[in-house]
């Protein structure tokens, strides 16, 4: 018995040490303060000005595109469950966090939610946000199955098959098949309605998309995951790219060069706005911080983005949370000067 007690004490001690080390590592992360201050994009006077498009960044790759009459959102992920629950338990949409985020962004109605792919940090809340706002859900069959698992009406689900262009008021949305960042986790299809709560591993990618949003001849591209299909965006144009940089800092220069070439350079962008850099195990009520070094290297990704943008004379801006901005504001001047980051 004495040996058993010693063994148990040793195991408990090791677990405490491991937990302390993990907690310490989880809090080691690059600061985004410098980007937020130096590269900040100016907030707009209004969220839905009659004179043009306004965009609001709401963490990860959730973006609200809105003019005076129409509102389209990408993803709509607001629950942002904590690390322990995500890793060890089952997760589901959090009504209070969703309601708080919609209130923070001043959202009462959405015409559509376009989901980039079906991992939980993109698709888990889509049906609940759409239910509250009257939106149509646009996405893959896997995204449709996350919605069906929440008893969302089939009549308001539009499954994308190939490249499609849809119109919502004065906003035109074009969805182009793309590829997820190649980490090999959570790939495959969700083949039946996904009942919740569910494990994070049940939210399979189900196909990824590049999403173009155009209004009055100006176009933005949302590339929510740092993956690409060679040549898929050739011949398409976008003034601004909302560029997913999650995990991009963990790849080598050859991959980063190809990603830039097949997204930013391919569409002739004049401005890049990084997205999907934040630690989505923290709620939106807290200041957004970068993912920890344990998982990602946001500092490496941003060094790459700034170097390539400076070389190609492309403007780089950093979005504030829940502050509407004109994504095209000052673009001609910035592009002509190069705005070396």
Write out pLDDT tens, residues 83-119. Answer: 889 989 999 999 999 999 999 999 999 999 999 999 9
Q: How far apart are CA 276 and CA 61, in angstroms?
A: 5
Quick check: is 13 in a domain? no
CA quadruple 69, 73, 79, 84: dihedral, nearest 10: -160
pLDDT band at 11 (very low <50, low <70, confident <90, very high): low
The three-class DSSP label of residue 314 is coil
Question: What does the pLDDT read at residue 80?
Answer: 98
DSSP letters spanning 143-172 = HHHHHHTTT--GGGEEE--SSEEEEETTEE
Backbone angles phi, psi at 258, to 5 degrees: -65, -40
Residue 204 has pLDDT above 70, yes or no: yes
Q: How much is the average pLDDT of 302-318?
A: 97
Q: How much is the average pLDDT of 257-278?
A: 98
Q: What's the Cα-to-Cα distance from 40 to each of 33, 305, 316, rounded to whole Å? A: 10, 15, 9
Of 254, 262, 295, 252, the C-alpha closest to 276 is 295
Strands 171-178 and 208-215: antiparallel
The listed range with the strongest mean pLDDT (3-7, 47-51, 84-88, 121-125) is 121-125
Residue 9 has pLDDT above 90, yes or no: no
205-243 pLDDT, tens per residue?
999 999 999 999 999 999 999 999 999 999 999 999 999
pLDDT band at 338 (very low <50, low <70, confident <90, very high): very low
Beta bridge partners of 72: 65, 112
Question: What does the pLDDT read at residue 1?
Answer: 66
Q: How much is the average pLDDT of 257-268?
A: 98
Q: How much is the average pLDDT of 252-261?
A: 97
Question: What does the pLDDT read at residue 339?
Answer: 47
Quick check: is 17 in a domain? no
Question: What does the pLDDT read at residue 186?
Answer: 86
Quick check: is 196 in a domain? yes
CATH number at residue 169: 3.60.15.10
Residues 219, 237: contact at Cβ < 8 Å?
yes
Q: How far apart are CA 245 and CA 241, in angstroms?
A: 12
Question: What does the pLDDT read at residue 48?
Answer: 47
pLDDT band at 23 (very low <50, low <70, confident <90, very high): low
pLDDT band at 16 (very low <50, low <70, confident <90, very high): low
CB-based burial, 83-93: b 16+ in 10 Å, e otherwise: eeebeeeebbb
Q: Distance between alpha carbon 277 and the CA centroid of its chain, in Å?
A: 8
Q: What residues contact residue 108 under an 8 Å CB cut-off, 6+ apart?
A: 102, 133
Quick check: is 19 in a domain? no
139-194 pLDDT, tens per residue?
999 999 999 999 999 999 999 999 999 999 999 999 999 999 998 888 999 999 99
Question: What does the pLDDT read at residue 189?
Answer: 97
More confident residue, 338 or 134: 134
Quick check: is 240 in a domain? yes
More confident residue, 21 or 30: 30
Question: What does the pLDDT read at residue 218?
Answer: 95
Its pTM stands at 0.91
Residue 17 has pLDDT above 60, yes or no: no
Q: How much is the average pLDDT of 53-78?
A: 97
Which stretch of 41-55, 61-75, 130-144, 210-224 has the lowest confidence by average pLDDT?
Answer: 41-55
Question: What does the pLDDT read at residue 52?
Answer: 86
Q: How far apart are CA 241 and CA 264, in angstroms?
A: 6
User: Which stretches of the chain are DSSP H helices?
Assistant: 2-26, 33-38, 83-88, 95-104, 120-123, 126-133, 141-148, 253-260, 298-312, 331-337
Number of domains in the chain: 1
Output the average pLDDT for the chain. 91
- Residue 59 sits in which domain range? 32-337
Residue 334 has pLDDT above 60, yes or no: no
């Amino acid at each position: 018995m004495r040996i058993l007690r010693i063994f148990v004490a040793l195991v408990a001690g090791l677990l405490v040490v491991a937990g302390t080390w993990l907690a310490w590592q989880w809090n080691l992360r690059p600061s985004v303060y410098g980007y937020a201050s130096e590269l900040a994009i100016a907030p707009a006077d209004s969220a839905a000005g009659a004179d043009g498009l306004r965009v609001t960044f709401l963490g990860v790759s959730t973006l609200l595109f809105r003019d005076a009459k129409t509102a389209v959102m990408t993803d709509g992920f607001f629950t942002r469950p904590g690390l322990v629950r995500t890793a060890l338990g089952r997760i589901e949409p959090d009504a209070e966090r969703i309601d708080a985020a919609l209130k923070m962004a001043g959202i009462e109605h959405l015409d559509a939610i376009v989901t980039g792919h079906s991992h939980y940090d993109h698709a888990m809340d889509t049906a609940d946000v759409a239910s509250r706002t009257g939106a149509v859900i646009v996405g893959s069959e896997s995204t449709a199955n996350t919605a069906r698992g929440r008893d969302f009406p089939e009549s308001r689900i539009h499954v994308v098959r190939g490249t499609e262009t849809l119109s919502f008021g004065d906003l035109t949305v074009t969805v182009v098949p793309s590829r997820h960042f190649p980490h090999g986790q959570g790939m495959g299809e969700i083949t039946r309605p996904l009942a919740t709560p569910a494990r994070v591993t049940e939210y399979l990618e189900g196909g990824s998309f590049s999403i173009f949003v155009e209004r009055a001849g100006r176009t933005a591209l949302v590339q929510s995951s740092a993956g690409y299909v060679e040549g898929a965006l050739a011949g398409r144009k976008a003034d601004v790219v909302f560029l997913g940089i999650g995990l991009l800092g963990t790849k080598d220069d050859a991959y980063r060069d190809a990603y830039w070439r097949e997204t930013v350079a391919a569409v002739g962008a004049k401005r890049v706005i990084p997205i999907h850099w934040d630690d989505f195990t923290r709620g939106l009520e807290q200041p957004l911080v970068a993912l920890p070094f344990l998982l990602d290297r946001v500092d490496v990704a941003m060094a790459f983005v700034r170097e390539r943008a400076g070389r190609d004379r492309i403007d780089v801006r950093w979005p504030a949370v829940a502050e509407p901005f004109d994504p095209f504001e000052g673009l001609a001047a910035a592009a002509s000067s190069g705005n070396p980051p």
